[in-house]
Structure 1
Amino acid sequence: MTESPFSIRDGREADLAYLNAYAAAEGMDALPSATGVRVAVNDEDVPVGFLRLQKGENGVFHVNPVVSCATWRGWGVGRALVEEALARVGELYLVARGASVPFYRALGFKEVPWDAIAPTIAADCDGCEMRGECAPLPMGKKVL
């Protein structure tokens, strides 16, 4: 088996310049802090992707968001981040952009009702000018 070209660690405030650049490239808002962020880093400890976990008012964890650096897509960064988060917390919910739905389905996520998404997470989609283009879909997965 081949060794992974990246590892995963807790995010640091010093990572935010990279992470926010990756988020901006995807049309997403900047992260307010490194709290709840897991970062995939290359051999030189440079971030190549990240995932932020937020515990919703409903008591479950939400992915908001998961982003891989464009040059690292296809290396399994997003998959590894999601699988590692799921192993940590056991149950995850998220709002997938339409284009990312096949990715999440391949990881075993299923469509859930909007009320399964914490209101503060769902609010990101309410009134968003890109909602029609984005076609957001609430999804979730539990480890059995």
Structure 2
Amino acid sequence: MTRAPFTIRNGREDDLPYLNAYAFAEGMDSLPSAEAVRVAVNDEDVPVGFLRIRRGDDGVAHVNPVVTCATWRGWGVGRALVEEALERFGELRLVARGESIPFYRALGFQELGWDDIASPIASECDGCEMYGECQPLPMGRRLP
């Protein structure tokens, strides 16, 4: 079996310049800290993607967001980050941007109602000027 060209570790504060640049390139806000962030890093320990988990009031883990560096797309970075988080938490919920819906469906995520998404995360879509372009969809997956 071929080893993936990246590994996953906990995020660190010194990763934030990379992570925030990747988030900015996707039109997202910067991360306030590296807390609850898992980072995929190349062999030189440079971040190539990340996933942040936020917990809802009910304790369910919400992916908010998962981002892969553009030059690393197609290497399985996003998939590995999501699958690792699913193994760690057993259930994940998220709001998928329209263009990412096929990615999450391929990972077994299914549509949820907006009431199933933690209100601080769902409210990020309320009044967003990109709502029509983004076409967000609440999704989730639970391991059997």
State the TM-score, normalizing by the size of structure 2.
0.99
The count of aligned residue pairs is 144
Runs of 4 or more above 3 Å deviation: none
Deviation of the 1:46 alpha carbon: 0.1
In the alignment, what sits opposite 2:8?
A: 8
Identity of aligned residues (%): 75
Paired letter, 1:29? D
Paired letter, 1:121? I
In the alignment, what sits opposite 1:90?
A: 90
In the alignment, what sits opposite 1:63?
A: 63
In the alignment, what sits opposite 2:123?
A: 123
- Post-superposition Cα deviations, 1:49-99, rounded to whole Å, max 9, x if no partner, equal 000001111220100000000000000000000000000000000000000
In the alignment, what sits opposite 1:114?
A: 114
Indicate whether 1:40 and 2:40 are aligned.
Answer: yes
Tell me how far apart the structure 2 counterparts of residues 129 and 33 of structure 1 sit (CA, whole Å). Answer: 25
Tell me how far apart the structure 1 counterparts of residues 92 and 3 of structure 2 sit (CA, whole Å). Answer: 27
For structure 1, the residue ranges without an aligned partner over 5 or more in a row are none
| 3-state SS of 2:35 partner | coil
Paired letter, 2:134? C
Larger displacement relative to structure 2 (52-61 or 91-100): 52-61
| 3-state SS of 1:17 partner | helix
